[in-house]
Amino acid sequence: MASQPRLQVLAASRNRISTLRGFPHLPSLESLRVEENPLLEMPHLEAALILLVGPTLKKFNDRDLNPTEAEVVKQYPAHTAICIRDGWEFCSPELAADSTFSFLLEQWKNKLPQDYIVKTAYVDHPFEEDPCHCHFSFTNLSSEGKLVLKYQWFLGGKTPTGFVPIPEELSEVYWPKSEDVGRCLKVECTPVLNDAEFPPVFAVSLPVCLGTGYPKVINLTVNGELVEGNVLKGVPQIAWCGGTPGKGVASWLRRTWNGNAVIDGAEGMEYQLTIDDIDSSLVFMYTPVTEEGVKGDPQCTMTDFVKAGTPSVSNVYVVGDIVEDNTIKGNGKYFGGKEGLSKFQWFREKENGGFLLVLSNSTQYTLIKEDVGWCLKFVYTPINLEGQEGEAAFAITEAVRKAPPKVFDLKITGEAREGSKVSVTATVTGGTVASSRVQWFKASSSEFVNDHELEALCTSKVSKTFRIPLGAVGCYIVAKFTPVGPDGEIGAPAYAILDDVVETLPPSLNFLTVTGEFSEDQMLTASYGYIGGYEGNSLYSWYLHETEDDEGSPLSEASGLLQYRIKKEDVGKFVSFKCIPIRNDGIVGEPGVFMGNDRVTPGNPTVLSLELNGEAIEGTTMVANRRYWGGEEGDTVFRWVLTSSDGTWNEIEGATSSSYSLKCDDIGFYVSVSCEPVRIDGVHGSLVTTEAIGPIIPGPPACRSLELAGSMLEGGRLTSHAEYTGG
């Protein structure tokens, strides 16, 4: 009977069926009836039919399948159905494995190379996306030559029928795919002896089962040359077993004599060998993980020992400003095991080309005056610990520039107190301290970043000293030192800061003085310097002293004033000024007193004003009115002068008082008076003269006096005497 792919019910009762040989392929059969056939005497007939029809069979002889027979089916080898169709006599499951294999051997024996017999031929139970191996072996009784085996995998149906070759699956292993689940596999093994192919033998599998979903590593290798600097790559071969391929967890470990050490950051599939790996072996560990998050068992593989690379250097460069007096440093990235005594050399460019060696065995070089204007070359020759020398590499700098002025060892000396004088000291290269400039600042903190955090206390100037002002109390004093070269070139500024915060002082006077001449009618002015916080209402007072040692008497009219004009009464006494400093919070400091060195002297005798009063008429008494200044007036001298119309003058003899009566002889003349002030101690002052008044005119005729002279006796002679005025 031919295969019937769509047949679902087959009734073959009473057909004298006695064997299952040639049983057709019925992949859709659900019900089978074979009543009243000799075949019914076969033991486990129901199990044999299940093997032949497959999982679609639900009823046998109009009843449901016996569960016991379904379990018996599992005890038969996968190729049982093929053997049944080829005429194998069905037997109990205990004997089926050997019996069916003997049956197949009998079929193959005349097809094999001479003196060869099949020893094993079977396929592992296949699972989805899990490598399935076939196993074939032959026994050679006496033949010579090497037997080569060729393979071809086939995919069948739910029962071992309808096999079709799977393209390019020609090895001992096949990875069942998701679409293979529930279908049987078959492998044909073709023996080849001395280039002669013989008919194949085969093995079939049970239907492919669903994968477990737990991935597993089938093979794990590490690719790459085990030399420092090379990149190793871990290559896992993974059976995903029905799970969705995901990203596994990889890690690299370094294996040394005392165990394994995890390599930090080495968590990828690739790893670059470093100097730390030399003379160690590496362990690559991989744990497969599906997209669903299911982890398989971790697997690892170990490499051979890592070797050091050949010494070499790359990325050679020079760091630092290429400026005179700076120290520059040559760097390079060494490679090739542990570094030994590598060579470092510095060369200076020469005028005629080429380079001149200036320093060896140092990565650092301090630029000197001779280097200015020339390039430098740094040469790095790599040498490993064993003394193996690699190829040298070098870097060439730009031309060395002349150094701008620089400042070193900058310090502030002096006390951090209000009113104290502080100064800076420094060492300047490329310039002079005298020409450099200093600016003073105050800062709220002893740590600052730039000028924006500072408050200027003065402008930049050449002076290196500074008196701390009141406004700096509670702050730090900072000096900004800017070096200046002889040609005016300005260097980078440097900063210095006093260690302590500026403290305030108790209220006090740092100086007290009185200016002016200690002489009558002179103005004395007091001045003082206050320190000790902000000044409040300090007290001022002036005193007169008979002697330098007495307490003196206060001059009330000058209390609270900084100025005092000396009076006439002060002559011969001492004048002092007293100041009591008071802070704005009311704290009183020690008073300061300034005592004049000398007694108050009188002023020079001076006629401040001189007026001539009276009419220029004969007989009038002219009076010289004066205002005297300059101590006690003594015998001031007056001189009266008559001046004619032609300008000639004559001093009136005997006229030395402050008044003078015009006489008849004075008519027609002009009259004036001069005054020479005389102090009581005999000191003469400057002569002062009035303007001349006149001309003098005659007075009215008058007899100013009339006297009779003679004896008042009878017969006596009387004489009259009269004083006439009036021309």
Instruction: Name the CA dihedral angle for 525, 529, 530, 532, rounded to a multiple of 10 degrees.
Output: -170
Q: Is the pLDDT of residue 591 over 90?
A: yes
Residues in the chain: 727
Answer for the pair 679, 634: CB distance below 8 angstroms, yes or no. yes
Average confidence (pLDDT) over 177-187? 93
φ, ψ at 89 (rounded to 5°): -80, 115
Average confidence (pLDDT) over 541-560? 91
Question: Are residues 178 and 250 part of one domain?
Answer: no
Average confidence (pLDDT) over 172-189? 93
Inside any domain, residue 20: yes
Q: Is the pLDDT of residue 452 over 90?
A: no
Going by pLDDT thresholds of 50, 70 and 90, the confidence category of residue 223 is very high
Q: pLDDT tens digit string along 329-341?
A: 999 999 988 899 9
Inside any domain, residue 102: no
Question: Are residues 480 and 553 part of one domain?
Answer: no
Question: Are residues 200 and 239 part of one domain?
Answer: no
What per-residue confidence (pLDDT) applies to 694?
85
The count of structural domains within the chain is: 7
Q: pLDDT tens digit string along 23-46?
A: 888 888 888 898 888 888 888 888
What per-residue confidence (pLDDT) applies to 412?
92
In angstroms, the CA 239 to CA 241 distance is 5
In angstroms, the CA 283 to CA 300 distance is 7
Find all residues with CB under 8 Å of 628, minimum gap 6, and list them.
605, 606, 607, 608, 636, 677
Lowest mean pLDDT among 18-22, 135-139, 197-201, 379-383: 18-22
Inside any domain, residue 258: yes
Q: pLDDT tens digit string along 661-682?
A: 888 888 889 999 999 999 888 8
What per-residue confidence (pLDDT) applies to 410?
92
Question: Are residues 648 and 632 part of one domain?
Answer: yes
Instruction: Name the CA dihedral angle for 111, 113, 118, 122, rounded to a multiple of 10 degrees.
Output: -70
Average confidence (pLDDT) over 489-505? 88
Inside any domain, residue 619: yes
Going by pLDDT thresholds of 50, 70 and 90, the confidence category of residue 727 is low
Question: Are residues 715 and 608 part of one domain?
Answer: yes
Inside any domain, residue 104: no
**Which of 577, 600, 574 has the alpha carbon at shortest distance from 526?**
577
Q: Is 230 exposed, middle or buried (0-12, 13-18, 19+ CB in 10 A)?
A: middle
Find all residues with CB under 8 Å of 171, minimum gap 6, and list them.
151
Question: Are residues 716 and 609 part of one domain?
Answer: yes
* CATH number reported for the structural domain that contains residue 551 in this entry: 2.60.40.2700
Inter-CA distances, 602 with 519, 567, 605, 607, Å: 6, 9, 9, 14
In angstroms, the CA 423 to CA 412 distance is 6
In angstroms, the CA 659 to CA 671 distance is 12
Question: Are residues 128 and 15 part of one domain?
Answer: no
Question: Are residues 13 and 52 part of one domain?
Answer: yes
Question: Are residues 589 and 616 part of one domain?
Answer: no
Going by pLDDT thresholds of 50, 70 and 90, the confidence category of residue 189 is very high
Lowest mean pLDDT among 88-102, 196-210, 242-256, 447-461: 447-461
What per-residue confidence (pLDDT) applies to 572?
86
In angstroms, the CA 397 to CA 10 distance is 98
Inter-CA distances, 144 with 140, 408, 583, Å: 9, 96, 126
Inside any domain, residue 563: yes
Answer for the pair 370, 341: CB distance below 8 angstroms, yes or no. no
pTM of the entire predicted model: 0.48
Answer for the pair 550, 541: CB distance below 8 angstroms, yes or no. no
**Which of 115, 119, 117, 86 has the alpha carbon at shortest distance from 103?**
86
Question: Are residues 460 and 383 part of one domain?
Answer: no
Lowest mean pLDDT among 203-217, 326-340, 623-637: 623-637
What per-residue confidence (pLDDT) applies to 125?
93
User: Which of 306, 329, 356 represents a domain boundary (last residue)?
Assistant: 306
Output the average pLDDT for the chain.
Answer: 89
Inside any domain, residue 3: no
In angstroms, the CA 202 to CA 152 distance is 9
Average confidence (pLDDT) over 80-95? 90
In angstroms, the CA 600 to CA 524 distance is 11
Going by pLDDT thresholds of 50, 70 and 90, the confidence category of residue 504 is confident
- Percent pLDDT > 70 in the chain is 99
Q: Is 320 exposed, middle or buried (0-12, 13-18, 19+ CB in 10 A)?
A: middle
User: Which of 600, 629, 660 represents a domain boundary (last residue)?
Assistant: 600
Q: pLDDT tens digit string along 225-284?
A: 999 889 999 999 988 888 888 989 999 999 877 778 888 988 999 999 988 888 889 999
Alpha carbon 236 to chain centroid distance?
45
**Which of 513, 515, 511, 514 has the alpha carbon at shortest distance from 530?**
511
Question: Are residues 606 and 593 part of one domain?
Answer: no
Question: Are residues 722 and 638 part of one domain?
Answer: yes
Please give the DSSP secondary-structure letter assigned to residue 95.
H
User: Which of 502, 520, 545 represents a domain boundary (last residue)?
Assistant: 502
Domain housing 77: 9-95
Going by pLDDT thresholds of 50, 70 and 90, the confidence category of residue 7 is confident
**Which of 393, 400, 394, 403 has the alpha carbon at shortest distance from 349?**
400
What per-residue confidence (pLDDT) applies to 1?
60
In angstroms, the CA 343 to CA 139 distance is 69
What per-residue confidence (pLDDT) applies to 2?
67
Inside any domain, residue 299: yes
